[in-house]
Amino acid sequence: MSQTPEQQAESAKEIRDAMRVVPQVAHGEPAVWLAGGALAMAVLIITGMVGLIVYQGGRAFWPDPIAKVRASDGSEHLGEIQQVGSVPADEANGGAKRVLLRSENFRWSGSHASWIVTDPNFEPTYPEWAVLVELMEEGRIIGQPTYFRVDGKVLESDPASVWAAYNEHRGQISERTREIERLTKGTLAKLTNRQADARLNARKAELEYGTDSAEHKQALADMDALLASLAKEQSDIDRKIADLEEINHRYEIGFLFQDGTEVFRPMADINRMVPANRLTLVGRLGVYLDRWREFLTEDPRHANSQGGIWPALFGTVVMTMIMSIMVVPFGVLAALYLKEYAKPGFFVSLVRIAVNNLAGVPSIVFGVFGLSFFCYIVGAQIDEWFFTASLPNPTFGKGGILWASLTLALLTLPVVIVATEEALSAVPQSMREGSYGCGATRWQTIQRVVLPRALPGIMTGMILAIARGAGEVAPLMLVGAVKMTQDLPIDLSQAPYLFPQRSFMHLGFHIYDLGFQSQDSEAARPMVFATTLLLIGIVVGLNLGAIWLRARLRRRFRAAR
């Protein structure tokens, strides 16, 4: 197809003309706005979410002042003001106000908070001696401390002197409480373990030598002797505990509620008494920090809605670490084979697609798999081989932190494989050639050149896996996370110190349990926010640790150019 010079000039001119006209869209302005808007939206959502949780979780333990509010009907109520609003029906005639008052005393009043309808221009007062009391087992109460009683005799009867007496005796009483706890959790628990061991030995003898064999009878006799001596030890300890408790129960504080109820509680039952309206800013800060300390380091109380979350914190961190230790080497080796050894082809592509799809499988499916495979097949087999004596009670054949970690390792495996493969692809071929040129074998090349160079990328995969694994809840419910346990998977006071078969508490599951499964989720709400904040903190913390590590590695391999 040939054109005359005129035709060529014609079409050249046409092209030149077309190039002069630039449509507005081609400048890309709308695209910039679209992309920028999307980013702004994303940033807004993230900061909003994090901000809300930080705010709510951060203020959960701040001691609010205790207000006295007079209702329209003349009754008076004491509590922390949570919200003030107007009553919609009365808006037309001046508008009555309503106040959401957190009045506590759930055990006596049946509610944690209630709406109080007040006059439009209500003024709350703040009685000096209104106190918030955190009880060990019965939630929180708000009232005035009016009596101090020892052995049933009232010694003090005005709030100031009751407060003074409380502070005077508090030290000794918590000393005794701690002693009781030490006896219960340490000595008594050890006794129980020894009793269980004795029974287990007898059972082992029975299994090994047959029922009523000489060995079995001997073991039974040993067991009985041991149990008898242990029983004596136990009764000694029980008596000691009872004595301590008796002394502690002699000291009581009486509280007067706003509705006139008088309630006496032993001082040992009082975890903390906060005279919220008398506190200075420093005092408030002290209470705030002490509550955080309790939250982070102590066991939960009162159906998890009070006390701390230490076992959950510990369980989450341990589980995440076991998971990382399992998934990283496994995933890296798998990716190494896919990338470095396997010849690219149909089968390798198939495997790669399968791995990528594995990442999209709903996590609960992994939970079901973990339960049916790890717990019921692997665990049951382990029980049969090594823990015959304690059957039919399962040891490994049930949910536990090891199985939970393995399940999550499976769940995060695709993340690690994909990230590692990408990191391996980013290693320049020239580096591999250089190594082969020096006479290195394939494994030497991988080990000394490829892996070190790919390490930062592999770390990225690990970070992603941690972030995914630490926040996962659904599969854990099936393979070992429980509402409440005080037995930690690592216990240095008890041989063999590591208990991979133990069920554990997990922050994510704890949030779910507090928020949705608790008897009074209203009371647990501050705990939900604080726990969420902590979970976010842990995930961010683990990530920052890994990122820091990665940055250090990167610095080592950074090129000058």
Partner 1 sequence: MSDTMQPPIETNAPMIEPEEVAPSPGRTKAGNLFEAIAQGAQFQTSLHEEMEELPCVVNVEDFNLWYGKSQALFNVSLSLPIGKVTALIGPSGCGKSTLLRSVNRMNDLVDGVQTKGSMTLAGESIYAAGADVIELRKRIGMVFQKPNPFPMSIFENVVYSLRIAGIRKRSILQEACEQSLQRAGLWEEVKDRLRSSALQMSGGQQQRLCIARAIAAQPEVLLLDEPCSALDPIATGRIEDLIEELQGEYSILMVTHNMQQASRVSAYTAFMYLGRLVEYGPTESIFMNPHLSETEDYVTGRFG
Interface residue list for partner 1 (CB under 8 A): 343, 428, 430-431, 433-441, 444, 448-449, 452-453, 556-561
Give yes or no for a contact between 171 and 140, defined as CB atoms under 8 angstroms apart: no
Task: Find all residues with CB under 8 Å of 451, minimum gap 6, and list them.
Answer: 332, 458
Measure the CA–CA gap between 312 and 400, rounded to whole angstroms: 14
Residue 555 CB, nearest approach to partner 1 (Å): 9
Residue 509 CB, nearest approach to partner 1 (Å): 42
Residue 425 CB, nearest approach to partner 1 (Å): 16
Q: Is 138 helix (H, G, I), strand (E, B) or coil?
A: coil
Residue 344 DSSP class: P
Residue 441 CB, nearest approach to partner 1 (Å): 6
Closer residue to partner 1 (CB): 209 or 436: 436
Closer residue to partner 1 (CB): 413 or 449: 449
Residue 557 CB, nearest approach to partner 1 (Å): 4
Residue 426 CB, nearest approach to partner 1 (Å): 12
Closer residue to partner 1 (CB): 182 or 554: 554
Measure the CA–CA gap between 429 and 409, rounded to whole angstroms: 31
The tokens for 473 are: 């809840």
Looking at residue 62, its amino acid is W
Residue 449 CB, nearest approach to partner 1 (Å): 5
Helices (H) and strands (E) in the chain, counts: 18, 12
Closer residue to partner 1 (CB): 20 or 556: 556
Give yes or no for a contact between 82 and 113, defined as CB atoms under 8 angstroms apart: yes
Closer residue to partner 1 (CB): 77 or 432: 432
Give phi and psi for 369, each to the nearest 5: -60, -45
Closer residue to partner 1 (CB): 144 or 445: 445
DSSP string, 282-302: HHHHHHHHHHHHHHHHS-EET
Measure the CA–CA gap between 206 and 212, rounded to whole angstroms: 7
The sign of the torsion formed by the CA atoms of 44, 45, 46, 52 equals positive
Instruction: Return the H-helix or E-strand segment holding 144.
Output: strand 140-150
Closer residue to partner 1 (CB): 16 or 343: 343
